[in-house]
Structure 1
Amino acid sequence: MWKDFKKFALKGNVIDLAVAVIIGAAFGKIVTSLVNDIIMPPLGLVLGKVDFTELYINLGSKSYTSLAQAKAAGAPTINFGVFLNNIIQFLIIAFSIFIVIKQLDRFKKKEEKVKVEKKCPYCYTNISIEATRCPHCTSVLEE
């Protein structure tokens, strides 16, 4: 069992996946910082000095001046500002992945398909492109 596990764990695909997860986690932290520290503050300033992380709906009976106070008091809240931040983070990550995949597709070699077969016009069987007579129905093929 140990040998099978070692064989599985040392496969290239598993190691590639582990590297991708680690890089993805680091990339997620960068995007989170980008949204929370760079994008949202100017956007909040333009929209009237709004801190999106403080936008919430209080479902409790008491009033609180901040989300932190409401959470400390254990009040039920709907944190739609945090949700908006997460949507923006998702859109940035999705767009970044889209750009990376587009670039990878651009750099891939496009393999030209070499035609190796053709259909016999009489029996519709696939035959070699070089055939002058169909091996199935023995029809003479025009070139």
Structure 2
Amino acid sequence: MTMTPDARESDRTRAVRNLENEFGELIHLVRRVLAENAERMSPGMLPGAYKIFTTIVRRESVTLSALAESLVADKGLVSRTVRDLEALGFITRTPDPDDGRSSLISPTERGLERLAIARAPQESSLLAVLDEWPVDDIDRLSLLLHSLRTGQRPS
């Protein structure tokens, strides 16, 4: 049985809507996890501060301008949050060797230790959920999500 173009399109629309629904549920879960991790990192920490800190960790060393740009966030808000993270001892600033007017922001050992503690419950949950998955499926899902995020066709 050959499908008409309209039937194929409705199948695609249905599939995309199902994907959108799953993303909505996943986003809700991620928001909850970020809030819980932020609270474990430092009681009262907001999820946005946690996101800024994890971005610093991922980048290893970053200027305030580059951090704000990568987060598509207001530089003033990022600057205030960075000051708060510095006061908590989670980050440090060093002079930027490429620009004497700027500083490089990096995580401290204390910040990395707190992050490991904050992430531990979810990391073990994700490992448990994926325990029965073949590694090839996990790698494929990562590739597909990357392709979707970057707008590229998966290979």
Q: Per the shorter chain, which TM-score range?
A: 0.3 to 0.5
Structure of higher RCO (CA pairs closer than 8 Å, 6+ residues apart): 2
Normalization by structure 1: what TM-score?
0.37
Normalization by structure 2: what TM-score?
0.35
Instruction: Give the number of the structure whose residues are more often helix, by fraction.
Output: 2
Greater Cα radius of gyration, structure 1 or 2:
1
